[in-house]
Chain A
Amino acid sequence: MKKKYNFKGGIQCISIKKDPREYFLNYLPDPEKFFIYIKYSHFKKNRLRVKVGQEVLCGQPLTFGDDLIVPVHSPTSGWIKNIYFNPKSSDKNQEKIKIVILSNHLNKWIRLKTIKNYKTYTPQSLIKIIYQSGIVGLGGAQFPSSKKLTLSINKVHTLIVNGIESEPCMTADYCLMQNYINEILIGCKIVAWISKVKDILIVIQEDKTELILKIQKIIENKQLFKLCIIRKKYPGGSSKILIKSLTGKEIPYGKHSIDMGYLVFNVATIYAIKRSIINGEPLIKRIVTLYNKDKNILSKNFWVKIGTPIHFFLNYLKIDSNLNTLIYSGGVFMRYLIVNLNYSIQKNMNCIYVKKNKKNKKKIEYPCINCGYCVHACPVNLLPQEMFLYCKNSDNQKLKQLNILDCIECTVCEKVCPSNIPLVKYFRIGKKIQKNIDIENDRKKLFSSLFRKREKRLLIEKKIFYSKDQISNIKKLDIFSRTQEKEENNSINQKIIEKSLRKEMLKEAIKRAKLKR
């Protein structure tokens, strides 16, 4: 058997999924209304392309997009019912636009431009196609793939295909690989051609034996591809941990894996890149796992169109959404509570987790006893126990020394903790404060440098304005040397005054002497 890669820390968890029905892909019917949320900020304008009442076709772009924001596409054919602007958003810089699309259940597509031989195109034009089809990282970070690819040209030597789902109940990526492995391999080749990669590593967890055998058979004769197997552990999906466990190198804070020469892509992203280039489809649907904790049978994978409201999704599966059920986006470990059921499925949601609300059990937070379990479990070599102490006392300098910004919020330390302390909650607050301090310092540096530059500029202007013999006066015009000049002048003046006083005294004394005679 091949070598199994491992990493420090983490928890081993038992795989819950046993039901073979989980691995089939199911389809959802179209809902009547789609809600599409668009990030919108005042300075980076994500301009709208459509009006209220306009008819749209499936796959038609709704916005123009910016350098950092990819355009958003219509998931269905129909007409636009309404556009809401919501300026009162919790985010500081990101106002949200909500577009409501009524579907006509026809699913008319726009004309798709297919490419058969992608090698006749230049990498730049392929990246442009990827940008225009609105592909972002589907692992959860939502970073535009086109930007990642443009940065990676002539810089990377290996492509890592991330097929790991460390969360125990998620099967979305596994399901995709099971059904569309050939298309994923074509996608890998496209990415390798764009960024001139020499090796391609496909990373899978050890418990998916069927898939490993299947991929090994396909790969056998191909030199580019390599298969890596990682131990079944949580968390393994983060790109930082992945590179550390595969190569042993650590990525320092503030640097990306591209700087080290590794390009990491999720499986779903590569599938989307293949669809966009060869089939010409923009990104309008993704696989979402539904996991119901109480009824294990119900966990399944679905092709869901982006913009489908969550209440429709739950109604179709006959899950009642009352006060007794909690609905999260994300898995067992990393999850966020969904409060508004009108919220729709976004590009970064890969799992919906339904759980019954148990009111009786309320966890009591005991004081920390310095047991050190969290230090052993932390996968990125941090000291959660000390960080917690400084977070409580809000000692920001010490927190920076402990590298709190490297925390990946995997909540392993929280699960291990015997006294039920919500550690990650504290770390999130600490990280926010730390980021604000950093932004403030950057602002200060920028503004002070700009001010100095202006002073210099004014000085040069004045030098040109005055004639050459007056250059000695120009020094006085500089603000920074002005105060020094003043002090010197004052001391000189005082000396002169003292001298004159003494002279007068002498004169008077001589006069008196003359009068006495």
Chain B
Amino acid sequence: MTVILIFSILSLFLGIILSYIKYSFPIKKNSVVVAVDNLLPQSQCAQCGYSGCYPYAKAIVKDSENINKCIPGGSDLTFKIAKVLNIENVEKSLDSSATKNEKKIYTTVLIDEKNCVGCSKCASFCPVDAIIGSPNFMHTVLQKFCTGCNICLLHCPTNCIKIIKE
């Protein structure tokens, strides 16, 4: 009888301590969002409709967004996210979408420096700050940091940006 009493009191104390710790030091990052964010390709291409990969991961977890919107990831990524989130019947939803699992080719972007007029539109839209240059001067791409998202192609008024293989 005394043994049971001692252990029950001990467990009560431990429970109180644990709950106090959880109250005072809360976990700031949502671990599921981070796990999904790590799976995404991080090219920040904004083809899913969100401004980057982290907002999309957040939308998947919190707003129950469709998981097949990432185009560079393909259907391979959809399966991986489904495994993390424990979603069944992924194949049904895969049939409806047009995502294909193509072989990955890394591309970057090159500015034809002769034709660049220095409008600095591309630099302001680049999601990773890979384009440098000041207004009315020639712009260049830092090849090391370019993710190949091709956002800058749409905003160039002189069509001087080309896609090249890495």
Chain A residues close to B by CB (< 8 Å)? 42-43, 92-93, 443-444, 446-448, 450-451, 453-454, 457, 479-480, 483
Contacts and interface: CB of A to CB of B under 8 A. Distances in A.
Given A42-B164, A483-B62, A447 B128 contact: yes
A450 B38 CA distance: 15
A461 to B, nearest CB: 11
A339 B19 CA distance: 70
B74 interface: no
Contact of A443 (B37, B42, B59, B127): B42
Contact of A480 (B43, B54, B62): B54
B81 interface: no
Contacts of A483: 55, 58-59, 62-63
Contact of B127 (A42, A93, A451, A480): A451
A448 B37 contact: yes
Question: From DSSP, what is the main secondary structure of chain B's interface residues?
Answer: loop
B129 A448 contact: no
A448 B53 contact: yes
A257 to B, nearest CB: 28
Nearest to B127: A451
Contacts of A446: 145
Interface in B35-90: 37-38, 41-44, 51-55, 58-59, 62-63
Contacts of B55: 479-480, 483
A451 B53 contact: yes
Contact of A451 (B38, B52, B143, B166): B52
9 contacts: A93-B166, A444-B42, A447-B43, A447-B44, A451-B53, A453-B129, A454-B128, A479-B54, A483-B62
Nearest to B52: A451
B150 interface: no
Contacts of A448: 37, 42, 53-54
Given A447-B145, A454-B129, 16 more contacts: A42-B164, A93-B166, A444-B41, A447-B43, A447-B128, A448-B37, A448-B53, A451-B42, A451-B54, A457-B129, A479-B51, A479-B55, A480-B54, A480-B55, A483-B59, A483-B63
Contacts of B38: 444
A94 to B, nearest CB: 12
Contacts, number: 47
B147 to A, nearest CB: 5
Interface in B111-150: 127-130, 143, 145, 147
Q: Name the 8 nearest CB pairs between A and B, nearest first.
A: A450-B128, A447-B42, A444-B42, A448-B42, A454-B129, A451-B44, A447-B147, A43-B143
Interface size class, chain B: 20 to 34
A92 B165 CA distance: 10
B36 to A, nearest CB: 13
A450 B147 CA distance: 10
Contacts of B166: 92-93
B43 A450 contact: no
Nearest to B165: A42
Contacts of A454: 127-129
A457 to B, nearest CB: 8
Contacts of B58: 480, 483
Which of A443, A448, A457, A479 has the largest number of chain B CB atoms within 10 A? Answer: A448
A293 to B, nearest CB: 41
Contacts of A93: 166
A457 B63 CA distance: 27
A451 B50 CA distance: 13
A42 B146 CA distance: 15
A454 B130 CA distance: 10
Which of A42, A444, A480 has the largest number of chain B CB atoms within 10 A? Answer: A444
A453 B130 CA distance: 12
Nearest to B164: A42
Nearest to A443: B42
A467 B15 CA distance: 49
Contacts of B129: 450, 453-454, 457
Contacts of A457: 129
A480 B59 CA distance: 11
Contacts of B164: 42
Contacts of B41: 444
Contacts of A453: 129
A448 B38 CA distance: 9
A451 B128 contact: yes
A8 to B, nearest CB: 39
A454 B128 CA distance: 6
A443 to B, nearest CB: 7
Contacts of B53: 448, 451
Nearest to A487: B62
Contacts of A92: 166
A440 to B, nearest CB: 8
Contacts of A447: 42-44, 128, 145, 147
Which of A42, A93, A457 has the largest number of chain B CB atoms within 10 A? Answer: A42
A364 B166 CA distance: 41
A483 B65 CA distance: 14
Given A443-B42, A479-B51, A479-B55, A450 B145 contact: yes
Contacts of B147: 447
A446 B147 CA distance: 10
A480 B130 CA distance: 22
